[in-house]
């Protein structure tokens, strides 16, 4: 794990509690208006028998899917986030790095119909680790549903090319956050990197802000070949 990837983990360990407060108090406008609904609708349309929410954070998406009758688990590398998820009343949450996913136990589920990565592919190597985990943990024809920042919008004034970026986490309600780097990918790169690892793109969605009409995120749905 390189220095940037280590900084991401350190940042989320520091930010776990304020992040949980923000999510549970519904203080992030884009989530409430657009992206929460978008990821739930994408999963529901896929109708997975089982799901693994990778980078589940404090567990909001798992609980939303549990309430709709879907069977699955959540996993995150930050123990404080998993503790917050379990405190909501369900034990189907595991602390694990993405690279260690194939060695984890998820109750009686040996393979999943679907991986969900909701704003949780942040590093350069994270994508590769999830794709590799899918080779053993996803059923044949299983899906990987990814929601992330829209590359065209999040690129800002930087060149439209893959590379590490910095974020300050400023201006989010009244909470103070520790900054962390993240790895920017072009749309072409997202698709190409999964194709190289034996996945094909089934669908691409671009949820947009109801007022600005600009993309708030992008959703990729890949299928394991």
DSSP letter (8 states) at residue 208: B
Give pTM, 2 decimals: 0.96
What total of structural domains would you count in the chain?
1
- What average pLDDT score do residues 7-31 get? 93
Rounded Cα distance between 89 and 66, Å, is: 11
CB 63 within 8 Å of CB 72: no
Rounded Cα distance between 48 and 223, Å, is: 12
DSSP letter (8 states) at residue 120: -
Helix (H, G, I), strand (E, B) or coil at 213: coil
- What average pLDDT score do residues 166-191 get? 84
Percent of the chain exceeding pLDDT 70 equals: 96
- The CATH number that applies at residue 176 is 3.40.50.150
pLDDT of residue 167: 81
Rounded Cα distance between 140 and 155, Å, is: 34
Print the domain residue range for 148: 3-224
pLDDT of residue 133: 98
pLDDT tens figures, 136-172: 999 999 999 999 999 999 998 999 999 999 886 665 6
């Amino acid at each position: 794990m390189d220095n940037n990837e280590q900084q991401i983990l350190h940042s989320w360990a520091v930010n776990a509690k304020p992040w949980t407060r923000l999510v549970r108090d519904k203080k992030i406008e884009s989530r409430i208006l657009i992206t929460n609904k978008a990821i739930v609708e994408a999963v529901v349309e896929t109708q997975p028998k089982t799901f693994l929410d990778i980078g589940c954070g404090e567990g909001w998406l798992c609980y939303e899917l549990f309430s709709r009758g879907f069977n699955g688990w959540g996993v995150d590398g930050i123990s404080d986030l998993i503790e917050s998820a379990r405190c909501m009343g369900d034990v189907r949450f595991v602390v694990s790095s993405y690279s260690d996913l194939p060695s984890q136990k998820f109750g009686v589920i040996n393979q999943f119909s679907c991986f969900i990565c909701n704003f949780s592919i942040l590093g350069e190597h994270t994508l590769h680790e999830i794709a590799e985990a899918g080779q053993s943990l996803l059923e044949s024809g299983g899906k990987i549903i990814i929601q992330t920042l829209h590359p065209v919008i999040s690129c800002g004034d930087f060149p439209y090319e893959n590379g590490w970026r910095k974020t300050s986490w400023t201006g989010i309600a009244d909470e103070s956050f520790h900054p962390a780097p993240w790895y920017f990918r072009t749309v072409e790169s997202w698709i190409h990197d999964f194709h190289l690892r034996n996945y094909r793109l089934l669908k691409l969605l671009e949820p947009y802000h109801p007022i600005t009409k600009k993309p708030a995120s992008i959703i990729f749905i890949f299928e394991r070949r």
